[in-house]
Amino acid sequence: SVLGESHQAHRCAETAQRMDSHIPDCGGSKQAASFLSMSGIGDAKKIYNDVIKPGGAKGYSTFLGYYTLSAAALGADTYAEVIDVMREYWGTMLDLGATTFWEDFSIDWAKNDTGEFIAYGIDKLPTPGLKDIHGDYGAYCYVGFRHSLCHGWSSGPAPWLAENVLGIRCAEAGMKKITFNPNLGSLKYARGKVPTPNGEIQVEVEKSGDKLKTNLILPDGTERV
């Protein structure tokens, strides 16, 4: 519709209506549940409590991390809960030497049920008794060293942090208008830049008692609404 392609827009609307009449069970998949939540098909709070929250980082996906974090933010009581699971999942990758986003990762590859590491990281030499987090794991045809450790498709935490923690969301095409609603959760301070066609938006947010102290710098051609 935005592009003026009314015929294609009509086809899409008809297809969406047909799809809306058949919603399969998510089968316990946190990723599938996330799409049900974000699309408005399912109740965000119930989906979070029944599927996404149980097990914490277990069942999270690097590929679809953005959507699961976004669905969690819709259903959780506090942003602190979502940031905590981010620490658990992506934080464990950092503990294993990650400096870029990995193609795939399961918390079960790294730790046992008591939280002890069962694998050594990519910044370590082989360690007797421990698995190689890179060479011994992966999924489908990406087992072993075919498993990419620098994967753009897995960079979902970057936009999620910009939209939810820094609080910058697009309100008009081309970032001509934005909304600004930061949520620090359990953090005390956050700072970042969001690229736009008009230049960078710069944000600083600091917790001061029960209030947030913010500094928002917008480039020419972008306004807050």
pLDDT tens-digit map of 125-164: 999 999 999 999 988 888 889 989 999 989 999 999 999 9
Could you report the per-residue pLDDT of 38-95, keeping only the tens digit for each? 988 889 999 999 999 999 999 999 999 999 999 999 999 999 999 999 999 999 999 9
Q: How does the average pLDDT of the chain come out, rounded? A: 94
The CA-based angle 21-24-30, given to 5 degrees, is: 130
Tell me, what's the pLDDT at 20? Answer: 79
Mean pLDDT of 167-178: 96
- For residue 23, is pLDDT > 90? no
How high is the pLDDT of residue 182? Answer: 96
Residue 187, token pair as written in the block: 């953090």
Q: What is the pLDDT of residue 79?
A: 92
DSSP state of 163: I
Return the percentage of the chain with pLDDT > 70, whole number: 100
The Cα 50–Cα 146 span in angstroms is 34
**pLDDT score for 111:** 95
Q: pTM to 2 decimals?
A: 0.88
Residue carrying structure tokens 């959760």: 185
Short-list 65, 105, 102, CA closest to 85: 65
Asked whether the predicted pLDDT for residue 197 surpasses 90, the reply is yes
* The pLDDT value given to residue 19: 83
pLDDT, residue 13, reads 95
